[in-house]
Amino acid sequence: MKRTTISLAAALLFAASANVAIAQTGDEIITKHIDAIGGEKNWNNVKSMKMIGSTSIQGMEVGMDITIVDQKAMRTNISLMGMEGYVIMTDKEGWMYMPMQPGMDKVTPMPEEQVKSAKGNFSIKSAVMADRTKIAKATYSGKDTLDGVACHKVLVADKEGNEQTAYFDMSTYYLVRAERKVKQKEEEQEVAISYSNFQKQPEGVVIAMTQSNPMLGGDITFKKVEINKPIPADYFQPSEPKKAEEGKK
C-alpha cells in the first residue's frame, strides 16, 4: 500500500512538472522566434514599413503595395487594368477607393466598426509576432506538419482576448502559418495566413517575402521592402485621381 501511494505521488508530481514544462515551452518558442527574425532591438527600431509586390486574381496580375506607420495608419494600394485604387485605415477613420469594381469609383468612408477592428493591424511587430508585450499567454499544443515542414504549434492569446494558432518551423523558428477568427458581416470566419521565402533585410529583421492571405486576394509575392523611409504628410488622406481630361487643361 505504501509503495502504491509513493508511485501515485510520483505520477502526480511528474504530471504537474509536465504541465509546467508545456506552459514554459510556449513562451520559449515565442522567444526563439523573435530572436530568429532579428531580435527585439532591431524590431523596436522599425517605425514604418512599405512592402511592394503583386498577386494574381483570375489570371490577371494585380500590383500591390502596403505601407504601415507603426501604431498609426496603414495604406494598401491596388493597381489593376490601368486603374489605381486604395484602402486607407487610420486609428480614427478609414476610406476605400476601388474604381476597378462596380460602384466603387468614389471615395467611400469605411464603417466605424470596421475601423476599430483594423487597429490591431497597425502594429508592425504584432503582425509578425515580435511584440512580447502584446502577448498575454502562449500555450504549447503539440507538433504538426505543414507542407512537409515539422512545426511547433502554439496557441497565442493577446491582452484583448483574441486568440490565434501559430505554427513555427522547428528548424528555424520562423512563423510559417497563423490561424485566427475574424468577424465579417456579423459572422465569424476562420482565416489562415501562410508565410514563406524569408529574407533578412539590411536593418537586421527577417521578412516573409511570400504570403498567402485570403483577405488580400491569395498569394502575394513581395519584391521590395522599404523600412523607415520618408512618407508624405498627406499619404493617409483620401483623394480621387484627376480625370484624364482634367489633366490636359
Q: List, for residues 61-111, the tens digit of each pLDDT value.
A: 899 999 999 999 999 999 998 899 999 999 889 999 999 888 888 999 998
Q: What is the pLDDT of residue 193?
A: 92
Percent of the chain with pLDDT over 70: 82
- CATH number for the domain including 186? 2.50.20
Q: List, for residues 24-53, the tens digit of each pLDDT value.
A: 489 999 999 999 999 999 999 999 999 999
pLDDT band at 217 (very low <50, low <70, confident <90, very high): low
Question: Does any domain span residue 103?
Answer: yes
* Opening angle at CA 38, ends 223 and 87, nearest 5: 45
Please check the confidence at residue 115 and state whether its pLDDT lies above 90. no
Question: Does any domain span residue 216?
Answer: yes
199 alpha-carbon distance from chain centroid: 16
pLDDT band at 56 (very low <50, low <70, confident <90, very high): confident
Backbone angles phi, psi at 156, to 5 degrees: -110, 125
How many structural domains comprise the chain?
1
Q: How far apart are CA 167 and CA 179, in angstroms?
A: 9
Q: How far apart are CA 234 and CA 249, in angstroms?
A: 24
Strands 60-69 and 48-57: antiparallel
Q: What is the pLDDT of residue 188?
A: 72
Residue 132 carries which DSSP code?
G
Q: What is the pLDDT of residue 191?
A: 85
Question: Does any domain span residue 246?
Answer: no
Q: List, for residues 219-246, the tens digit of each pLDDT value.
A: 899 999 999 999 998 999 998 765 434 4
* Stretch among 112-126, 149-163, 199-213 having the lowest mean pLDDT: 112-126
Q: What is the average pLDDT value for the chain, to the nearest integer?
A: 84
pLDDT band at 9 (very low <50, low <70, confident <90, very high): very low
Q: What is the pLDDT of residue 53?
A: 95
Question: Does any domain span residue 245?
Answer: no
9 or 141, which is more confident = 141
Question: Does any domain span residue 84?
Answer: yes
Question: Does any domain span residue 248?
Answer: no
Question: Does any domain span residue 244?
Answer: no
Indicate the pTM of the whole model. Answer: 0.80
Expressed as residue numbers, the domain containing 195 is: 2-238
Distances (CA, A) of 248 to 47, 64, 244: 39, 28, 7
| 85 grid coordinates | 485604387
